[in-house]
């Protein structure tokens, strides 16, 4: 039993026709009519409460009509949240200098006494958290216009669809959503009075002279799992504000658990095989582990780059992209390295660049392979080579987390199934990591349980120079979803294990590591990942054999040699193969110890996890007795 009544509950109890009157008094006739066409009481209450709380000067309801979509794009420019660039359709947006990434510290779940999310998940007592954030939101939209959008996660009118209502005072946020998500106004008509939708209330708060959020010290992102409601305030960075991205992923993970499907931080890639077949693989990799470059492999199809929903139908797994656009890292995109995306970013079409350098209306970013100007505008304001910030740190010409926002359909290799309400048949799941000397470049799990536990639930990734942490420290990140878990990690792993129940076609599980190193040198080339992916495609169709090792199934040299020739037109030596696919027993044993320790400290871990890790340890010990610490793939 709950012993406290929250402010929202009080509002709902009191939300009689008098409270709802605010809709009639604040909305103009056109917006009122648009809203009333959606006959949903919970929706009307959410919007009435937001208006009552934030007190905007005016409200705009977006129906997704071309005029409404254009209106939002234009407001973003008129308000100075975006500036048009030389190329048609391109604009630039800046987030504040200290608002360049997801704020993990201030992203919290609002929890009641009876909820247990485990020790590692950031949470706050619901009544006090709600009171705190509503106090910050109180009157925050004075002098501003509130924008209301209806959107769909997943293709519309499908099993995958989740209707969402986003309220924001940032036209940049609303505009980003035009590029990143499917329109949902019409879908809201079809859900009738259902309470089954996500609600997001965002305000950028007071803006400074550069139109960036001023009160960063009062930046808060609070998530109410019971109400499927998110509050976000005093921030603009899309990962904190675009409600359908990581904020909804947290809600979707809980919803998926209730409804027996999976909401994952995964790309979906369509790999071309023989006779015109296309095989779909999903992939979960922590950041800076090659996720986007794998999703965008030249010559293959991209179905999604960040968020995948996986559902079971007729004994098989089908996947859909929760999004229809890309909010991608722009650093290191160059004409030679990434021709498809580079071309898209340098030709006319709708794109929002964020936190890049602008010189004479042209965007520049780190690692773009071009001669870069010595001055311009960037996330620090007027920028010049050698500029330092308040802490004395040199300011690079663009932020490392600078991004581009683009509709996926703008890419030449966009998968034709993007809007397919049935999704695509998923044949395999890839888990990525980053370590210098533990995992081989690619490996297949023995079966679903072995894969979920030793690959997905055991992901570790070395910290890189891109974070403030010490470099090379292994960080635990199960299914690369740790930042977004809305349940104890043991329960989340159990949910994956159970997912295979009732399946006739169980997806194959693979692991990759693109970052093996010896003496500072990478053992694999940047494009070699394409070969590992093509090998997986063959494995799915039983067209390649594999060698059984203590940790999984690895490729035969001859198969890889052939693929290197076909895919990359490259010679692949036996020497390279042996170095890359040697099993390092002590490193693998130490990893098992680390993972086991983490799960022992977490309540609710299923026993099978410990059994599977122990069996892997025993296989490694037996192999060590027979072959020694370093086992060549030619030994078995
Ligand atoms: C990530 O950090 O995993 C992203 C970008 O995809 S964000 O929207 O910030 O989550
Ligand atoms: Mn992501």
CATH code for the domain in which residue 56 is found = 3.40.449.10
CATH of the domain at 346: 2.170.8.10
Clarify whether residues 313 and 450 are in a common domain. yes
Picking from 410, 438, 456, the residue at the C-terminal end of a domain is 410
Is 289 annotated as catalytic? yes
Cβ 496 under 6 angstroms from ligand 1: no
pLDDT average, residue stretch 13-24 = 75
Atom 4 (ligand 1) nearest CA: 239
pTM, two decimals, is 0.95
Task: Please say whether the beta carbons of 281 and 319 come within 8 A.
Answer: no
Clarify whether residues 380 and 318 are in a common domain. no
DSSP, collapsed to helix, strand or coil, labels residue 165 as strand
Cβ 102 under 6 angstroms from ligand 1: yes
Cβ 323 under 6 angstroms from ligand 1: no
Strand partners, 283: 267, 430
User: Residues 99-117: pLDDT tens digits?
Assistant: 999 999 999 999 998 888 8
For position 603, what pLDDT does the model report? 81
Share of the chain above pLDDT 70, in %: 96
Contacts of 255 (CB under 8 A, 6+ apart): 162, 228, 263
Clarify whether residues 496 and 351 are in a common domain. no
Tokens, residue 125: 């007592």
- Between the CA of 243 and the centroid of ligand 1 the distance, in Å, is 12
For position 462, what pLDDT does the model report? 87
Report the C-alpha gap between 112 and 202 in whole angstroms. 23
Q: In angstroms, how far is the first alpha carbon of the chain from the final one?
A: 60
**Residue span of the structural domain in which 308 resides:** 262-324+418-582
Q: Calculate the CA dihedral of residues 368, 372, 376, 377 and round it to 10 degrees.
A: 10
Clarify whether residues 271 and 349 are in a common domain. no
Clarify whether residues 345 and 286 are in a common domain. no
Atom 2 (ligand 1) nearest CA: 287
Q: Does the structure show a pLDDT above 80 at 8?
A: no
- Between the CA of 535 and the centroid of ligand 1 the distance, in Å, is 29
For position 287, what pLDDT does the model report? 84
Q: Comparing C-alpha atoms, which of 500, 440, 491, 494 is closest to residue 630? A: 440
Q: Comparing C-alpha atoms, which of 503, 498, 568 is closest to residue 533? A: 568
Of 289, 414, 442, 583, catalytic: 289
- Between the CA of 265 and the centroid of ligand 2 the distance, in Å, is 6
Cβ 245 under 6 angstroms from ligand 1: yes
Q: Is the dihedral of CA 151, 39, 197, 257 positive or negative?
A: negative
Contacts of 101 (CB under 8 A, 6+ apart): 237, 239, 401
Burial class (CB in 10 A: 0-12, 13-18, 19+), 16: exposed
Atom 8 (ligand 1) nearest CA: 239
Task: Please say whether the beta carbons of 50 and 134 come within 8 A.
Answer: no
User: Residues 196-238: pLDDT tens digits?
Assistant: 999 999 999 999 999 999 999 999 999 999 999 999 999 999 9
Clarify whether residues 197 and 54 are in a common domain. yes
Clarify whether residues 320 and 331 are in a common domain. no
Contacts of 530 (CB under 8 A, 6+ apart): 297, 298, 567, 568
Q: Does the structure show a pLDDT above 70 at 466?
A: no
Task: Please say whether the beta carbons of 552 and 443 come within 8 A.
Answer: yes
Q: Comparing C-alpha atoms, which of 423, 216, 473 is closest to residue 321? A: 423
Nearest atom in ligand 1 to the alpha carbon of residue 265 is 3
Atom 1 (ligand 1) nearest CA: 287
Clarify whether residues 203 and 119 are in a common domain. yes
């Amino acid at each position: 039993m709950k012993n406290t009544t929250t402010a929202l509950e009080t509002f709902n109890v009191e939300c009689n026709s008098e409270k709802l009157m605010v809709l009639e008094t604040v909305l103009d006739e056109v917006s009122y009519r648009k809203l009333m066409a959606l006959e949903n009481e919970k929706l009307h209450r959410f919007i009435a409460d937001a208006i009552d709380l934030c007190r905007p000067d005016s409200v705009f309801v977006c129906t997704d009509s071309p005029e409404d979509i254009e209106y939002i794009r234009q407001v973003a420019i008129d308000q100075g949240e975006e500036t048009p660039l030389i190329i048609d359709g391109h604009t630039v947006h800046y987030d504040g200098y200290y608002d360049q990434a997801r704020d993990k510290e201030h992203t919290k779940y609002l929890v009641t006494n009876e909820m247990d999310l485990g020790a590692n998940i950031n949470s706050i007592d619901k009544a006090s958290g709600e009171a705190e954030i509503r106090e910050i939101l109180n009157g925050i939209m004075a002098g501003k216009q509130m924008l209301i959008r209806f959107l769909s996660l997943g293709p519309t009118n499908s099993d995958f669809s989740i209707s969402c209502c986003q309220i924001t005072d940032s036209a940049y946020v609303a505009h980003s959503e035009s590029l990143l998500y499917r329109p949902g106004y019409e879908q809201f008509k079809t859900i009738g009075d259902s309470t089954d939708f996500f609600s997001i209330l965002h305000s950028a708060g007071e803006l400074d002279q550069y139109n960036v959020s001023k009160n960063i010290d009062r930046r808060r992102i609070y998530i109410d799992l019971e109400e499927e409601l998110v509050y976000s305030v005093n921030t603009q960075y899309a990962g904190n504000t675009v409600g359908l991205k990581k904020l909804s992923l947290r809600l979707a993970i809980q919803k998926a658990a209730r409804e027996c499907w999976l909401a994952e931080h995964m790309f979906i890639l369509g790999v071309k095989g023989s006779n015109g077949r296309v095989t779909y693989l999903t992939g979960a990799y922590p950041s800076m582990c090659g996720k986007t470059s794998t999703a965008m492999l030249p010559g293959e199809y991209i179905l999604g780059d960040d968020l995948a929903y996986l559902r079971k139908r007729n004994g098989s797994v089908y996947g859909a992209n929760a999004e229809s656009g890309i909010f991608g890292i722009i650093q290191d995109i160059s004409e030679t390295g990434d021709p498809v995306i580079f071309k898209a970013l340098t030709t006319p079409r709708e794109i929002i660049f964020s936190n890049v350098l602008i010189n004479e209306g042209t965007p520049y970013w780190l690692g773009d392979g071009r001669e870069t100007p010595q001055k311009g505008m960037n996330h620090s304001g007027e920028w010049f080579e050698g500029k330092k910030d308040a802490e004395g740190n040199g300011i690079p010409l663009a932020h490392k987390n600078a991004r581009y926002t683009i509709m996926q359909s703008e890419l030449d290799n966009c998968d034709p199934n993007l809007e397919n309400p049935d999704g695509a048949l998923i044949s395999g799941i890839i888990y990525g990591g980053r370590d210098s000397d533990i995992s081989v470049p690619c490996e297949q799990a023995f079966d679903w349980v072995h894969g979920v536990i030793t690959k997905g639930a055991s992901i570790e990734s070395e910290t890189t120079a891109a974070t403030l942490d010490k470099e090379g420290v292994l960080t635990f990140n199960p299914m690369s979803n740790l930042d977004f878990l809305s349940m104890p990690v043991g329960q989340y792993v159990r949910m994956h294990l159970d997912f295979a129940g009732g399946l006739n076609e169980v997806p194959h599980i693979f692991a990759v590591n693109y970052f093996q190193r010896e003496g500072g040198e990478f053992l694999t080339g940047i494009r070699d990942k394409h070969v590992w992916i093509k090998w997986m495609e063959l494995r799915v169709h039983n067209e390649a054999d594999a060698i059984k090792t203590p940790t999984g199934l690895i490729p035969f040299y001859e198969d890889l040699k052939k693929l290197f020739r076909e895919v990359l037109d490259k010679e692949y030596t036996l020497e390279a193969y042996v170095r890359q696919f040697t099993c390092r027993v002590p490193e693998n044993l130490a990893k098992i110890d680390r993972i086991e320790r983490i799960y022992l400290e977490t309540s609710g871990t299923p026993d099978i996890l410990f059994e599977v890790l122990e069996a892997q340890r025993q296989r490694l010990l037996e192999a060590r007795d027979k072959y020694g610490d370093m086992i060549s793939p030619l030994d078995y």
